[in-house]
Every structure is written in structure tokens, then in C-alpha cells.
Amino acid sequence: MNALTPYRREGWLRRLPYGMEEVLEHFFGPPARTGETMPMAWAPRVDFTETEKAVVVKADLPGVAPENVEVTFADGLLKLHGEKKEEKKEEKEGFRRVERFTGEFYRELPMPAGVDPDKILATVDKGVLTITVPKKEEAKDRKIKITPKV
């Protein structure tokens, strides 16, 4: 009787939900079990601006204390490493909620050739880390006099 059953190939549409699960788990981690919170990945948003004299990097670090951030430069890479620790408390009559968030971040940002790592300046203001990476002064063009060989 099986010979009379038409052959059905499992199509891509049937497999789509499983493929989406894999993609979502790759980016956000495995789903939380009942009663647990979803693990959160966190990476600061970064803006680059390049001028003739410097490269300016701005990283949004709301709620991150400056002492919890480390900025290093090695092998042409500007490296940002730090940890965000946040705790929210809410208390009302007959109700109390405490939420904690901790997350470590690490970013490597390639810098163009010709920057001066000895003069990098990092400042923070209102949760925005601004890193100024000056460029080395280029050798000025000069005219070379050609003299005939005697």
C-alpha cells in the first residue's frame, strides 16, 4: 500500500521555522527556560569621524563608570574593553523588584595608517566616551634640485 502513497519532499517552507531558530540563537543565545531571564549581549554603539588631523571615535557607554573601561592601542587596532553593571530597585507597598544587569564588552576598531598612538586622548562626558587619535604630521613636499654630474 505504501507504493501508492505519493512521494512528498520536505520543502524549504517546512524547515523555515527551524532555520530561524538557529539564526536567532546564534545572535541572542539559547532561549530562556521558564522562570529564567534571557541572557543579554551588549556592545556599545560606535561612531567614527576622520578629518585631516585626527580620527575621532565616540562610543555610547550609558551607565558605565569610566574606571570600568580600558582603552588600548596595539597593532593598528584601538581596543575598547569594559564592563557595565546596573541595578534597578523598585519598592512599593507589598511589592519589591530588583533587577541586575552585568555585561562585558570588547571592541576592536582598525585605525588608518599614519596615526600617532602616543598622543591619543580619551574623555568621557554624559555617558559618551570620545577618543581622539591624532594623525602624524606628513612629511612636507619639497622640491629637490637636480644637479648635473661633473
Model confidence over 8-61: pLDDT tens digits?
Answer: 555 656 666 666 777 777 666 666 554 444 445 577 889 999 988 899 999 999
Contact 54, 132 (CB under 8 A): yes
Contact 108, 44 (CB under 8 A): no
Cα separation, 141 vs 136, in Å, equals 15
Give 5's DSSP letter.
Answer: S
Assigned domain for 17 exists:
no
Handedness of CA 124, 129, 132, 133 (dihedral sign): positive
Cα separation values, 86 from 22, 62, 64, 112, 119, Å: 30, 10, 8, 35, 32
Instruction: Using pLDDT thresholds of 50, 70 and 90, give the confidence band for residue 150.
Output: confident
Task: State how many domains the chain has.
Answer: 1
32: buried, middle or exposed (CB in 10 Å: 19+, 13-18, 0-12)? exposed
Assigned domain for 7 exists:
no
Assigned domain for 16 exists:
no
Residue whose C-alpha cell is 527551524: 18
Assigned domain for 26 exists:
no
Q: Which residues pair with 133 in a beta bridge?
A: 55
Assigned domain for 149 exists:
no
pLDDT of residue 60: 92
Task: Give per-residue pLDDT as tens, 83-132.
Answer: 888 888 888 888 888 888 788 888 899 998 889 999 999 999 998 999 99
The CATH number of residue 94's host domain is 2.60.40.790
Residue-range definition of the domain harbouring residue 50: 40-134
Handedness of CA 75, 45, 133, 80 (dihedral sign): negative
Residue whose C-alpha cell is 505519493: 6
∠ CA(139), CA(145), CA(148), 5° rounding?
Answer: 145
Quickly count helices (H) and strands (E) in the chain: 1, 7
Assigned domain for 108 exists:
yes
